[in-house]
Amino acid sequence: MQVLSVIGPSECGKTTLIEQLTERLSERGEVGTVKHIDCAPDIDTDGKDTDRHREAGAVQTYGLGDGEWFARGDSLTLDDALERLGQSCDYALIEGYSDAALPTVALGGRVSERGELLASGETAADVDPEQVIDELDATDPYETLSSLVARAKQSPEQDKSGAIATFTGRVREKEHDDDEPTELLEFEKYDGVAEEKMATIREELEARDGVFEVLLHHKTGVVEAGEDIVFVVVLAGHRQEAFRTVEDGINRLKEEVPLFKKEVTVGEEYWAHEA
């Protein structure tokens, strides 16, 4: 799933740009949207913008506030909403959330705290939707464990599978109680080379008897303490093949894929290969 965040103050045309992008992207696949709201949701007022999202072609929409969300619940975070959308949508468009680590269009002078800036302007009229989509196509997809599992279940050989095994790697804040806490990790990769190596690993693992689908995903950029870094999902005939292939998959990914890691603690920062 490709994800884009549109940020900016009120009256800068965020919803208008979301509509324009939704109309174009819905011709390619299913689009979901999320809108950040500043007050408790009320279907008659705050729902108007999400109604516009739907009318433009979005198949799912969420309005998220502090402690409440459309269509009602105790709480839902942006990550939760993206987890849900990622199981069925090809694109997710986010209205608001300046602090999200997502590809971003910034309007009205708003600054993205963690996201990759794809375009900017004072209002939506200053941004070319087609150019934004071209820039979005070049970004890495947003993957979650749920989205990868959903994709594995769509395998042509899923009818012969009796097991799905997964691995999730996270940013560990500390290994021992007296360790200096890790605040974040930052990952960089050799573009093209890393993808080629991961494709080779996947192809070789899928060649094993009883293994039908292998999916590997490693995040790049900044990943904060407690967040997920890497996923391995294996669809197999039996649990033995699934477990063994998951372990081999993460071991080969760590050993063979050219990724560089910078660790930032409360007191220092360093690249792991220089430590």
pLDDT of residue 73: 42
pLDDT of residue 38: 62
Per CATH, which fold does 145-274 belong to? Answer: Aldehyde Oxidoreductase; domain 3 (3.90.1170)
Q: Where are the domains of the chain?
A: 2-137, 145-274
pLDDT > 70 fraction of the chain, expressed in percent and rounded:
91
| More reliable by pLDDT, 252 or 75 | 252
pLDDT of residue 66: 64
* Helical (H) or strand (E) element with 151: helix 145-152
Q: Which of 72-86, 132-146, 222-236 has the lowest average pLDDT?
A: 72-86
pLDDT of residue 126: 96
Q: Per-residue pLDDT tens for 46-63?
A: 457 778 888 888 887 887
Characterize 258-273 residue by residue with b for buried, 16 or more Cβ atoms within 10 angstroms of its Cβ, and e for exposed. ebeebbbbeeeeeeee
| More reliable by pLDDT, 85 or 69 | 85
Q: What is the mean pLDDT of the chain?
A: 87
CA dist 259 and 183 (Å) reads 19
CA dist 128 and 72 (Å) reads 34
pLDDT of residue 119: 95
User: 2-137 in CATH: which number?
Assistant: 3.40.50.300
Query: Is pLDDT of 39 > 60?
Result: no
Check the CA dihedral 76-80-84-85 and report its sign. positive
Q: Per-residue pLDDT tens for 154-168?
A: 999 999 999 999 999
pLDDT of residue 29: 94
CA dist 123 and 132 (Å) reads 14
| More reliable by pLDDT, 220 or 38 | 220
**Per-residue confidence at 265, pLDDT binned at 50, 70, 90?**
confident
pLDDT of residue 134: 96
